[in-house]
Amino acid sequence: MTFAREAWPFVLPFGLLAAALLWLRHPAWAAAAALGGLGTLLFFRVPAREAPTGEGVVVSAASGRVLSVERLPASEVGDGPYHRIATFLSVFDVHVQRAPVAGRVVSIAHTPGRKLAAFRAGADRVNERRLMVLDSAGERFGVSQIVGLVARRIVTWVGEGDRLDRGQLYGLIKFGSRVDVYVPVEYTVTVQRGDRVVEGETVIARREGA
């Protein structure tokens, strides 16, 4: 397991504080600061994942609990209706995101907004978010990173034109929140509300006949 580089501005102050407290002979407070740093570091963990192989497979972009599965139009992604699979990330979940399919990044659009609880109805429309659209063999897929009460920044490590493999790391939401995956309706959703999913590994949809 590795850690995202964005962790260090948050973790290093805890380490410096722990060292200072230890030097001042306050071992209990130093231990508390060290534990705080360790806990913060775990927010940025990047576990090893192995994406499933095969055609017509869509994997979860985030780790957490499925918040909802809906069918709705998504003109910002592509033509026609889409399945939208929303996943809620608690502060205890892995916070990195991975590409649900292999494809080329068509667009990345950032929308400023509020920071309501990500599990609330309408948070996907009013909260700050970043939508990445992927073209996979002529089909369009979308992944939306959405902030919440605790999350304060969205990070995306790729740009338009980049090619991603299924399960490849592409970003994170600092301290969690919500990730929505948009899948063409020709695919069959294989998860339901309440299911636990793992980013880059859990199959959330399959193409009919694949």
Q: What is the residue-level pLDDT of the chain in tens, covering all 210 positions?
A: 787 777 677 768 777 877 877 788 787 887 887 787 787 777 777 888 998 988 899 999 999 999 999 999 999 999 989 999 999 998 889 989 999 999 999 999 998 877 766 666 767 777 889 999 999 999 999 999 998 776 567 889 999 999 999 999 999 887 668 999 999 999 999 999 999 999 999 999 999 766
Q: 41 with 61, same domain? A: no
Q: 69 with 32, same domain? A: no
Tally the domains of the chain: 2
Q: Which position has the token pair 């775990």?
A: 42
Angstrom CA distances, 187 to 6, 69, 71, 156, 196, stand at: 35, 13, 11, 26, 20
Structural domain of 167: 57-207
Q: 24 with 83, same domain? A: no
Q: How far apart are CA 172 and CA 97, in angstroms?
A: 5
Which amino acids are annotated catalytic? 177
Does any domain span residue 70? yes
Q: 35 with 65, same domain? A: no
Instruction: Select from 87, 80, 188 the least CA-distant residue to 139.
Output: 80
First CA to last CA distance, the chain = 32
Q: 100 with 197, same domain? A: yes
